Amino acid sequence: MPTAPQSIPTVIISNDSEGTIDYLQKAGPQQDDLVYRRELHGDRTCFWKQDHKLVLTSRPIPHLAYLHHTVGYTSIQHLSPQKPSLFLSLDILREPQLIQGIVEFAGANRTITLIPYANTRQFFQLVATLQAQYGLTVLLPESPQPEQLWLRNYINTKSGFRTLVSQWLREPSLPPCPPGMIAPSLETAAEMAHWFVQNNQACIVKIDDGADGKGQERFDRHLQQNLNFSPSTILKTLRNNPFFQTNSSAATPIIVEQWIQTDLIKSPSIELFIPPLGQGEPQITYVGNQLFLEFGRCAGILIAKELLAEPWYPAFAQAGLAIAHNLQKMGYVGHFDVDAVVDEQDNLFLLEGNPRRTSTTSIHEFAQFHFGADYLDQLVLLSDDEMDSGGINNFEQLQTVMGDLLYLPQQNPHHPPKGVVVTIASLLEHHQFGCLTIAPSTQDALSLHHQLQERLK
């Protein structure tokens, strides 16, 4: 992956809500809470890139001293707006202390590398202002040209992903999307879902730009035996979901696809970095898999070398690289993540693409920073972004309770790395927090994760 020289200061813009604004504005009464929680997840951007960086998030980071003194990020600087809005890029332009902080961080050479969570119209407005009004040279190694922003927005939709992937992955050996259709209206979506149920197939209905598992409704005759699966009943269910309600006169595509049945839930993802065309080949950065425990509860996302030996991995890697090469030809630049699901016969189905850094990018780059590019030869990583804190709502108390389970970089070099790093402390006001478990094996990681859960009860 091409990187800016280490001497050039790195500035990180954690514009999370800005990148998902269309989806968030469909949340109805849930909108404010969803926006706020997404902003609290900005803590994890402290783990991006190398140590020396300026991180701008919408909210203050409560465990910055811990990152400085315990985790080894001694040179992080941080700024956040006094009056945050949905658009962090515009907040920076509006509040003089923020943009002045970026200018001062650029130093005498007046050059920065700028890394966003999401490439947006507002972000490019910030870039243009830094260049034109403040005379900064702004390097954008993870951003396309502004005129290619449409591609980022299109591939970010489920219909766009389905359309392009079906054109690019025509070989029988490559994984498809689940059988499904794109509905032009909610009424048609209800009729399509009824067709699936009538043919004894469970299905899922999704809004086109959904995220975080929101904006979905599953219809399964075996699980919902008391439900009358007529088109009108399905339509009523969809209309009761605020994400399917819209005040726009423009028709918004709705995805109706077969629900992939599996007893042992396998939900892998693969991330790639796509440099500008002519500046290198797309590369796989990592592969992860959601780990589910009893009753379908997610224990987090696992990154481990063992995933490379899974029967579904070769086709997934081939498909991911094919998608990345085609996106590169169209002008896409930056991180790109593909989410998938594996059925009981180990058949892989591609679900959606995420044209940005994801929650797992931060733990991958943490491991690279602390353990080197070959970290998979030494350890596994298990990331849980929303762990129950057991009623604890401040970081100092959490640190005390976690005690000897906390990871310390100064551990005995003759022993494999092991411990838990707090990645998201801002969520403690909701009695949750994000953490990364580091261990020599998956079993050790799950055991340590369980120990922490028991200690917090």
**Residue whose entry in the numeric block shows the structure tokens 């309600």:** 245
Q: pLDDT per residue over 121-153, tens digit each?
A: 999 999 999 999 999 999 999 999 999 999 999
DSSP of 202-234, one letter per residue?
-EEEEETT--TT-SEEEE-TTT-TTS---HHHH
**CATH class, range 267-456:** alpha beta
- Strand arrangement, sheet containing 180-183: 180-183, 254-258, 203-207, 216-219
User: What local confidence, expressed as pLDDT, does residue 445 receive?
Assistant: 95
Contact 341, 292 (CB under 8 A): no
How much of the chain exceeds pLDDT 90, in percent? 79
The DSSP bridge partners found for residue 353 are 338
- Rounded CA gap, 383 and 403, in Å? 19
Dihedral of CA atoms 145, 356, 310, 169 in degrees, nearest 10, equals -40
Average pLDDT over residues 41-69: 95
- Rounded CA gap, 113 and 53, in Å? 10
User: What local confidence, expressed as pLDDT, does residue 293 receive?
Assistant: 59
Q: pLDDT per residue over 151-162, tens digit each?
A: 999 999 999 999
CA distances from 132 to 39, 129, 136 (A): 29, 5, 8
Q: Which two tokens stand for residue 328?
A: 């590169």
Q: Are strands 111-116 and 10-13 parallel, antiparallel or unpaired?
A: parallel
User: What local confidence, expressed as pLDDT, does residue 119 receive?
Assistant: 97
CA distances from 243 to 30, 215, 249, 253, 423 (A): 10, 5, 15, 13, 30
* Homologous superfamily of the 179-258 domain (CATH): ATP-grasp fold, A domain (3.30.1490.20)
CA distances from 364 to 115, 121, 269, 433 (A): 16, 28, 13, 19
Residue of 214, 172, 204 lying closest to 29 (CA atoms): 214
User: What local confidence, expressed as pLDDT, does residue 300 receive?
Assistant: 87
Average pLDDT over residues 325-345: 96
**Confidence at 2, pLDDT banded by 50, 70, 90:** very low
User: What local confidence, expressed as pLDDT, does residue 295 receive?
Assistant: 46
The more confidently predicted of residues 113 and 242 is 113
Considering the entire predicted model, what is its pTM?
0.93
Q: Which two tokens stand for residue 308?
A: 């490379």
User: What local confidence, expressed as pLDDT, does residue 31 receive?
Assistant: 84
Tell me which H or E stretch contains 33: helix 31-40
Residue boundaries of the structural domains of the chain: 10-142, 179-258, 267-456
